[in-house]
Amino acid sequence: MKITDMKLFHVKPRWLFLKIETDEGIVGWGEPIVEGRALTVATAVEELKRYLIGEDPLRIEHHWQVMYRGSFYRGGPVLVSAISGIEQALWDIKGKYYQMPVYEMLGGKCRDRIRMYSHCGGATPEEMAANAVRKVEAGFNAIKIGVDAPVQHIDTLRFVENQTAKLAAIREAIGSDLDVAIDFHGRVSPAMSIRLAQAFEPYYPMFIEEPCLPENVDTLLRIAQSTTIPIASGERLFTRWGFREALEKQAIAIVQPDLCHAGGIFEARKIAAMAEVYYGSIAPHNPLGPISLASCLQLDACTPNFLIQEHPSMAERWDLGEGYLNQPFHIQDGYITVPEGPGLGIEINEEALLERAYPGDWDTPRLYYPDGSFAEW
C-alpha cells in the first residue's frame, strides 16, 4: 500500500482537516493545526507531502522519525502540529487496514467509557453557579472554569475576591460531588498564581491549569510547591522532550499534551508513560474539532493513567461532530463510550467540509491592559 495524495480542508469555525489517500482506497483523517496559524501549518503539511507520497502508510513510527528529525531543525508548534495531524491520519489508515480501533494496536482498552469535562463560564458568581447547575443537569460530573482576563502582574484584592466568589458560588450551588478545574491559561504571573491558589484551596479545585507560562519550569515548580492543588500543564509543550524537565522536577501532576500539537497519538502515549513513572495523570488538551476528539478518545481508551478528557463544549455540538461526522459522538452522564469502529472510529461527511469551508484566516484574540500594553491571553 502506498500514499497517493494528501488533501487539506480549512473548515469553520477555525479547523484544518487532512485527508490521506492510498492506492488501496483506504483513507485516513487527521487534524494538523495551530490555532491562528492554520495557513502556516498547511504549508508545512505540503512540504512534508513531498516525502510521504509513494511511501507505505503503515510505517508510522519510521515516518514520524523522518519528518521530525529529517530537516535538521526540530520541534516547535508548526512542524510538530503538521506531523501530529499526519500521524493521526496514518493511524486511521492502519486501523482500517487491520480492521481494528487504534487503541487495540496500542495495547487494548483499559476502560469502557471516557470521562469528559465541560467548560463553564459566567460574568457573575450567580451566572457561573447557574451554568454549573445546568452542566450537572446535563450529566457532567466535572467542569472547568477560567479566571477573568486580563490579569495584572500584581492585581488587586478585589480581583482575587471576585475570582474566589465565582468558585465559592459553584460549590454552594452544586456541593462536593462536582469536580471543578480552573484554567489560568498562562495569563497569570507566578506571584498572582500563588495568591489565587491560596484563596481557592478551601474550595478543593480538581486542578489548576497553566498557572504560569511554560518556558520556565523552575517557576512552575515554585508554584506547585506553594499549594496543595494539583498542577496541570502541557498544551504548549511539544513531544516527549518538551515534557521531560517538568516531569523530572515534578512541577506538574497532570500532563496535558494536545494530540494536534504534541506529536500525535503515539507520541502522547509516550508522554503519558513518562508521567506514569512519576505517578502522574494525563488529561489531553482539546479545544479543537471532532478529529482531534476522536484521536484523544483512542489514546484515553488504552492509557492506564488517563484522568479526564477536554472538549470545547460548543453549543452547536460541532466539536462532537454534529454536521461533520456521519455518526457524531454522544456524551451520556458525563462519559463517551469507547468507540469500536476501525482506525479513529469516525466517518467524515466531506460534503459538509466543503459547505463549511473558509479561507483559514482565523486569528488569535489579543488583550491589552488599560495603559495600552499587551496582556497575556
Q: Any idea what DSSP says for residue 253? A: S
Let me know if 311 is a catalytic residue. Answer: no
Query: Architecture of domain 3-100 in CATH?
Result: 2-Layer Sandwich (3.30)
The Cβ-side half-sphere exposure at 289, using a 13 Å CA radius, reads 27
The domain 104-341 having CATH identifier 3.20.20.120: the answer here is yes
Q: What is the pLDDT of residues 192-231, one digit of tens each?
A: 999 999 999 999 999 999 999 999 999 999 999 999 999 9
At CA 68, angle to CA 321 and CA 219, rounded to 5? Answer: 80
Average pLDDT over every residue of 227-250: 98
Q: Any idea what DSSP says for residue 105? A: H
Q: Which of 5-9, 108-112, 293-297, 316-320 is the least confident region?
A: 316-320
Is residue 316 predicted with pLDDT exceeding 90? Answer: no
Let me know if 185 is a catalytic residue. Answer: yes
Q: In the structure grid, which three cell numbers stand for residue 138, read together?
A: 446535563
Which residues make Cβ contacts (< 8 Å) with residue 47, sequence separation at least 6?
none
Q: Which residue in 10, 261, 285, 311 is the catalytic one?
A: 285
pTM, two decimal places: 0.97
Residue 7 CA to residue 89 CA, distance in Å, equals 11
**First and final CA of the chain: distance in angstroms?**
45
CATH 3.30.390.10 positions along the chain are: 3-100
CATH 3.20.20.120 positions along the chain are: 104-341
Q: What is the pLDDT of residues 55-94, one digit of tens each?
A: 999 999 999 999 999 989 999 999 999 999 999 999 999 9
